[in-house]
Structure 1
Amino acid sequence: MLEALGLTEEEARTYAALVRSGACPKEQLATLTGLSSGAVGRALDGLTSHGLVSRDEPDGRRVAAQPPDTAGEVLLLHRMQELMTARAAMMRLADEYHASTREQRGQLPVEYTPKAAVPQRVEQIQRGARREVLHFDTPPYSSVDNRIQVEQLAAGVSYRTVYDRHAIDYPGAMERIDQCIEAGEQARVIARIPMKVMIVDRELAILPALGGIGTWPGATVIVQPSPLLDALIELFERVWVDSVPLDLGAGIEGVRPAELDKADVRLLTLLLSGLTDEAVARHLGVGRRTVLRRARSLMDRAGVATRMQLGWYAARRGWIGLSRKRLAVDSSSEGQLGADTVVRGVGDV
């Protein structure tokens, strides 16, 4: 822990031992710390230079720890000052980098990232988000850890994610998605997304350099502000409008509909995401017949004969969080919400 203050591991162990034991001969520290006498000597020299130990006798054989709440505070302030100086230097370099990048954008609006550097680059880009992240999500994944996203959501960064139907069926996917939704993510699903892409603050995008929609985490390209980035943002917005909300329980007005219990909401979420009945059964831990029976129960409650009609009814009743403007547009088309927007891949019972 004390290594964060600039201490070596040996210095941290020696200081902790002195704090616990009180003043003692330096020879005793080898026993207390499990270090060699040479390592203890080097550690004491370092601690002395940091002002964390003092020597009680002229020959320096007896040493004592300085109080952590005073000596440690001084060391902490020095360390913070060093970090602030380093941060200022990095900011100056960042200004130079962006200035040189702006000069090159007319010639090269993309940055190529080789496969080995992709995980670190993706983390840097995601942690650098300040306002919003737009995300097309589809398998395969190098990692299913969503820790960075949850942290960014807690920091006030907005996330809108459109999941490919196959992402929903990925092992552990619903638990991961639920965690993100609870943290504040706006999540939707569609039968097929055109590519895996992440757009940050509408200032840059990262997407696969080669292959089809699922070639991540292979080599990637990072798109800087350009007509290409504008096209990617427009593509996301169009797909977002055509996709189905995964947080079905929120309803149109953001209030969970009283007609549905938690089990109904989860079933409707999975059915309207486009999963097969078998996949829905796997997610719920039930048999396919149970899925069919519960789907029929929802249809009977809605007074409809097909799942397409169930999707339309769910939208009209506020079970699906589509906007009233969107519903008005769909209503003008003879009441057709459409298999492509609500019940992709889901057949009639």
Structure 2
Amino acid sequence: MANDKTYTIYSHSDADGGIAAALFSKFINDKYAKNGWNIEIQPVNHVSSLGEWSLMEIKWPCSILDFTLHPSLLSERFFANKYALEKKGESNKSVPDCYWIDHHPTGSSFPFLSELNTAEILPNVITKWDTTAISTPGLLRTHQQELGLPIKLIKEYEEFIDFAEIIDGALYATCEAAHDFSSTAVKLQVLFNPGHPAIDKSVLYKRIVRQIVKSASIEDLFDSDFIYSAIFNFEEQIFNKQLRLYKKNTRLKGKVAFSNFSESREFAGMGRFIPYMLFGEAQYALHIMPSFNKGSSSLSCGINPWNKPKEASKHLGNYFAKNFSGGGHAFVAGGKVMRHEFSKIEQLLEYLNE
């Protein structure tokens, strides 16, 4: 029976998803550990070198946090597992609920869930889809009562929730502040997305989530492992290298700071806001990055939080879902482009400069 009683939390592998996973881990553990349930954390990328997330299967029972869920992820076994447990004598009260909670308006070119079809596709799953939410932890705070989360839990993790809002909403005071490695927000962000090649990001992610569950103190998190200081120092060095490389590979194309690393032999990782340090007048930043997949490159685009476009009708997530097998929010999106489809990038530049 013990092997059957695993509750999986699938969460986006960034600070937003990680903090949400920690809150939900504590929530589920406090409520169901007495019934023998163990929690497993499964970080998820939208698109990775290991393949599309849509090719994986979600196991019941679980929580799906900060990620747009597609019907293709759900096999017949997803709901069959519930009935199998009930046949073994588990009562409804002793089996945790399933949750799907997200704030992304779109996730990929596959059909995705919406407020109109969730009840049909996900019966008996508690869902909350709020595209106005800045972050998933912020969504949990806003809809705490509706989701049945204890207010005590939300208040306990208020500091983490506030920083999740800053990180996922790019609510830094200035572009320079977004790269200030003495700030708590930047430290949290890089801790969930380290660039060091020797670090197993999945293992680190799970360790961070466990520590947050253990203590709602950010200082306790930073002090919990000596390797974190090494990560901060390494990431600051990487940023300085990124800044040099971005100066070589970034050009201003109308309203767009275009960083093209597709033909570059040097790439130190994406510097999300570095183009705005070079071209403060830019309203968008477009990145083309090397990919592990032969014949294609990764693509990312977002608006300048400190110089937003006056025309707010463009929805980058929908554009990338339609044209680059990707998706995202209205103001930030990612996807991939094949070598023979690079003409689409010129079309994107025209779209952004309209």
TM-score, normalised relative to structure 1? 0.22
Which structure carries more strand by proportion? Answer: 2
Which structure carries more helix by proportion? Answer: 1
**1 or 2 for the larger relative contact order (CA 8 Å, sep ≥6)?**
2
Structure of higher CA gyration radius: 1
